[in-house]
């Protein structure tokens, strides 16, 4: 049976969406080849770029022009340069460099997303390098993955840190602990922005050497404490402010409730729990980045998902938090929740 094709409905969106990974891979390859960092010295012709990056002539012109077409490069008088977006986020020389996240997308997420149908059928993570229980300690044994993972986290905390330093009123507190704070990038930004704060990181013991190295490289050796531990089996250190950044979404709902309860117990009256994640809107329809982020967590964690602010409020109230406020951050791609323990 044939049906009439409606000529007014263009197939273009399907053709573009179905191969949207072409653009993603071009961006990731450009980061891997350090194209944007090379072009930070100034615009260059195609033969110059080819020479500097060691590319074959067959694909290089198409590659560069495709990057122009998707808005990452400019081309004027035959010279290619970084568009403002690429200059700000894809040049290794900038603090705002997001290359670590692109490297993780390229090396880990791209292969994993080829198994989305399997993940949807089984409900099981599809990432290689996860332990049988999907545990982070096993992930931490894979050095190449771990390098991508830590630089991806730094890429995010490098953007979120200054915003968190600005939007939350830190003046009423003397100390904080970033739980799941990895190698301390966020803690470093917060203590530099608010020198009166005593900062600490709580994370798995195998993060400690990376933390020590990172603090030394930032000139902050000895300034921020590291508490090694497992947040499911160890008590959280007592402190005035606890941060859970990109932590709750890694775990299932019962585990999240458990972590929120532990935070409540570790805080004094008047203390605050800060949570940031890529939360969905309450109707689960607007924030496509969050919805796809949630599918990503299906593929890379045993129980994680993004969640709504309404869900988060229920867990917080269940633990005993009374005053809860929410602020959109990072251009409304993430939500920061502040929950105060009544004092
Ligand atoms: C997705 S990362 C978030 C890093 C950072 N807070 C951010 O905002 O991007 C989750 C962090 O939780 C830590 N983590 C995972 N399981 C843990 C556990 N059981 N106890 C303590 N930390 C854990 C990981 O090592 C990692 O640093």
Mean pLDDT along residues 158-165: 96
In the set 140, 214, 246, 249, the catalytic residue is 249
User: Are the C-beta atoms of residues 39 and 85 closer than 8 Å to each other?
Assistant: no
Residue nearest to atom 27 of ligand 1 (CA): 182
Mean pLDDT along residues 170-197: 97
Residue nearest to atom 24 of ligand 1 (CA): 180
Mean pLDDT along residues 101-121: 93
CA of 205 to the centre of ligand 1 (A): 11
CA of 332 to the centre of ligand 1 (A): 23
Q: Which helix (H) or strand (E) holds 265?
A: helix 253-266
Mean pLDDT along residues 24-33: 98
Tokens standing for residue 89: 């986020």
User: Are the C-beta atoms of residues 193 and 165 closer than 8 Å to each other?
Assistant: yes
Mutate to test the pocket of ligand 1, among 176, 203, 207, 279 (most ligand atoms within 8 A of CB): 203
Q: Is the pLDDT of residue 333 over 70?
A: yes
Q: How many CB atoms lie within 10 A of CB 215?
A: 21
CA of 151 to the centre of ligand 1 (A): 13
pLDDT band at 253 (very low <50, low <70, confident <90, very high): very high
CA distance 318 to 261: 8
- Catalytic, 227? Answer no
Residue 204 gets which letter from DSSP? -
User: Are the C-beta atoms of residues 228 and 204 closer than 8 Å to each other?
Assistant: yes
CA of 132 to the centre of ligand 1 (A): 18
pLDDT band at 141 (very low <50, low <70, confident <90, very high): low
Residues in CB range of 273: below 8 A, 6 or more apart? 241, 242, 244, 260, 263, 264, 267, 316, 321, 338, 339, 341
CA of 230 to the centre of ligand 1 (A): 10
Q: Give the pLDDT confidence score for residue 134 in this predicted structure.
A: 47
pLDDT band at 177 (very low <50, low <70, confident <90, very high): very high
**Residues flanking ligand 1, CB < 6 Å:** 136, 153, 156-157, 180-182, 203-204, 207, 230-232, 245-247, 250
Nearest-Å Rg of the Cα atoms of the chain is 22
Ligand 1 atom nearest the C-alpha of 185 is 5
pLDDT band at 150 (very low <50, low <70, confident <90, very high): confident
CA 240 to chain centre: 25
Q: Is the pLDDT of residue 45 over 60?
A: yes
CA distance 201 to 242: 10
Check the CA dihedral 268-249-179-92 and report its sign: negative
CA of 137 to the centre of ligand 1 (A): 10
Ligand 1 atom nearest the C-alpha of 182 is 27
This model's pTM is above 0.85: yes
CA distance 251 to 176: 23
Q: How many CB atoms lie within 10 A of CB 262?
A: 18
Mutate to test the pocket of ligand 1, among 108, 180, 297 (most ligand atoms within 8 A of CB): 180
Q: How many CB atoms lie within 10 A of CB 281?
A: 15
Beta strands across the sheet bearing 73-76: 44-45, 79-82, 73-76
Check the CA dihedral 153-261-207-188 and report its sign: positive
CA distance 211 to 180: 12
Q: Give the pLDDT confidence score for residue 286 in this predicted structure.
A: 85
Kindly provide the b/e burial profile for residues 61-98, where b requires at least 16 CB atoms within 10 angstroms of the residue's own CB: eebbebbeeeebbbbeeeebbbbeebbebbbeebeebb
Residue nearest to atom 16 of ligand 1 (CA): 136
| 276 bridge partner residues | 245, 336
Q: Give the pLDDT confidence score for residue 343 in this predicted structure.
A: 78
Q: How many CB atoms lie within 10 A of CB 299?
A: 22
* Rounded percentage of the chain residues whose pLDDT exceeds 90: 85
Q: Is the pLDDT of residue 206 over 90?
A: no
Residue nearest to atom 18 of ligand 1 (CA): 230
Q: Is the pLDDT of residue 205 over 60?
A: yes
Ligand 1 atom nearest the C-alpha of 232 is 19
CA distance 22 to 16: 9
Tokens standing for residue 325: 């406020």
Q: Give the pLDDT confidence score for residue 3 in this predicted structure.
A: 72
Mutate to test the pocket of ligand 1, among 234, 247, 297 (most ligand atoms within 8 A of CB): 247
Residues in CB range of 149: below 8 A, 6 or more apart? 104, 139
CA 317 to chain centre: 26
């Amino acid at each position: 049976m044939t049906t009439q094709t409606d000529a007014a409905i263009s197939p273009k969106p399907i053709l573009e969406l179905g191969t949207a990974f072409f653009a993603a891979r071009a961006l990731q390859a450009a980061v891997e080849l350090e194209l944007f960092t090379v072009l930070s010295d100034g615009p260059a012709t195609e033969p110059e770029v080819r020479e500097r990056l060691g590319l074959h002539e067959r694909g290089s012109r198409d590659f560069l022009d495709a990057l122009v077409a998707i808005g990452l490069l400019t081309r004027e008088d035959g010279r290619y340069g970084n568009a403002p977006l690429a200059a700000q986020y894809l040049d290794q020389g900038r603090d705002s460099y997001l290359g670590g996240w692109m490297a993780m997308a390229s090396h880990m997420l791209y292969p994993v997303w080829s198994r989305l149908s399997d993940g949807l059928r089984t409900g099981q993570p599809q990432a290689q390098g996860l332990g049988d229980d999907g545990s982070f300690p096993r992930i931490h044994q894979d050095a190449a993955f771990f390098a991508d993972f830590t630089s991806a986290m730094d890429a995010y905390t490098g953007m979120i840190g200054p915003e968190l330093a600005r939007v939350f009123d830190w003046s009423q507190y003397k100390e904080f602990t970033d739980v799941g704070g990895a190698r301390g990038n966020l803690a470093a930004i917060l203590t530099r922005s608010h020198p009166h704060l005593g900062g600490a990181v709580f994370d798995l013991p195998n993060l400690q050497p990376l933390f020590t190295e990172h603090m030394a490289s930032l000139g902050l050796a000895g300034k921020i404490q590291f508490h090694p531990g497992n947040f499911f089996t160890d008590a959280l250190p007592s402190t005035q402010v606890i941060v859970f950044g990109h932590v709750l979404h890694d775990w299932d709902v019962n585990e999240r409730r458990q972590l929120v309860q532990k935070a409540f117990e570790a805080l004094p009256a008047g203390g605050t729990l800060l949570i940031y994640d890529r939360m969905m809107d309450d109707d689960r329809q607007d924030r496509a980045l969050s919805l796809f982020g949630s599918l990503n967590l299906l593929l890379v964690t045993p129980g994680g998902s993004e969640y709504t602010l309404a869900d988060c409020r229920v867990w917080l109230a269940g633990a005993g938090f009374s005053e809860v406020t929410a602020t959109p951050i990072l251009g409304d791609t993430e939500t920061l929740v502040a929950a105060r323990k009544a004092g």
